[in-house]
Each structure stands twice: as C-alpha cells, then as structure tokens.
Amino acid sequence: MKVAVYPGTFDPVTLGHLDIIRRSAHLVDKLVIGVTTNPSKEPMFSVAERLAMVKRETADMPGSIDVIEFDSLLMDFAEAQGATAILRGLRAVADFEYEFQMAGMNQQLNDDIETVFLMADVSLQPIASKLVKEIARYGGSIDKFVTAAVAEDVRRHLKANS
C-alpha cells in the first residue's frame, strides 16, 4: 500500500491546502495529513481546533484520508505512518527554494521516503494561511480563500479574542 504524508500547520486550512489534499488522495492508497505546530509561527488556532477543522473539511473527500497530530521530526512521523512519500504543495519560486532545502535534509535523514511536489492550482497560488489571518484581523473578507465553515471559525476566534 502506498502511503503519503502531507504535513502542515493548517492555521487555518485554506482552499489551497484542500486542493492539494484532494489531488494527493488520488495518487496514493492512503493520505495522512499531519497537523503540527511550527515553532517559528504563532498559530491562531490550537492543534485540537486545527485537527477538527481539517477533519471536517476532508470528511467528504474521496480516498483514504487520515488526519493526525504530530510533534516530532517529519521523517520520524512519516516512518511511523509507513509512508513512502512526503507531499508538499508549491505556490511560487520562493516556496520551491525552502522546500528544496527541506527535501534535501529529509533525504539525508531517510532516503527511502521521497518528497513529491504538487503545484497549487493557478487560481489558488496566492493563498497563504498567514495572509488569510492578516486579512481577517483587519476586517477583510476571506471568503475567496477558505470554505464558509473555516471563515466562520476565523471570525468566531477573532471575536472571542478581541
């Protein structure tokens, strides 16, 4: 069975993330979405909230999709899941430079697990969780970048913390 891991913070999960998830699920027998916390980022949502969001947004997608929290080296997590690939979405050249470096480091840790890059759909390439949060914090509409349910999650979070 071909298992791939798609890791990320998903804070919040965007239409770009969901596009990569939908397309990735067709490429493998099982897709494991690894929800983690990046120490260099300040998340808006807790890990539990992000897990719930991603589970809700992927519940009706075709394919075998698991959503799991992890707080370890990505390669250790991938090995534990029996993965043969790490899936990463790319939006722009700047993403590629960072992801290329990470892929090289990960290959040094375990060269049995391949890194596979998927280009985001052209219409979704500008979307970044960081920008979605910034737009929302300043009262802008994020409806073009996330599902209606996620937009409501963001509004509710901002209202509760204002």
Report the pLDDT value the prediction gives residue 161, as an integer from 0 to 100. Answer: 85
CA distances 62 to 8, 32, 53, 58, 82, Å, are: 20, 13, 17, 9, 21
Could you read off the pLDDT tens digit of each residue along the chain, which spans 162 residues?
999 999 999 999 999 999 999 999 999 999 999 999 877 778 999 999 999 999 999 999 999 999 999 999 999 999 999 999 999 998 877 778 888 889 999 999 999 999 999 988 888 888 899 999 999 999 999 999 999 999 999 999 999 987
Q: How far apart are CA 48 and CA 52, in angstroms?
A: 6
Q: How far apart are CA 28 and CA 84, in angstroms?
A: 10
| All domains of the chain in start order, with CATH | 3-160 (3.40.50.620)
List the beta bridge partners of residue 32: 5, 66
DSSP state of 63: S
**Predicted confidence (pLDDT) per residue in 114-129, tens digit:** 999 998 888 888 889 9
Q: How far apart are CA 54 and CA 58, in angstroms?
A: 6
Q: Which of 26, 41, 144, 155 is catalytic?
A: 41
Asked about 129 being catalytic, the answer comes back as yes
Report the pLDDT value the prediction gives residue 144, as an integer from 0 to 100. Answer: 95
Helix or strand run (H / E) with residue 65:
strand 65-69
The set of residues, in sequence order, having a beta carbon less than 8 Å from that of 105 and lying 6+ positions away, is: none
Report the pLDDT value the prediction gives residue 91, as an integer from 0 to 100. Answer: 81
Q: Which of 23, 55, 56, 91 is catalytic?
A: 91
Q: Which of 24, 50, 129, 133 is catalytic?
A: 129
Locus of tokens 């890791």: 7
Q: Which of 17, 50, 88, 133 is catalytic?
A: 17
Q: How far apart are CA 82 and CA 68, in angstroms?
A: 14
Identity of the residue numbered 39: P
Is residue 55 exposed (0-12), middle (13-18) or buried (19+ Cβ within 10 Å)? middle
Asked about 91 being catalytic, the answer comes back as yes
Residues 35, 68: contact at Cβ < 8 Å? yes
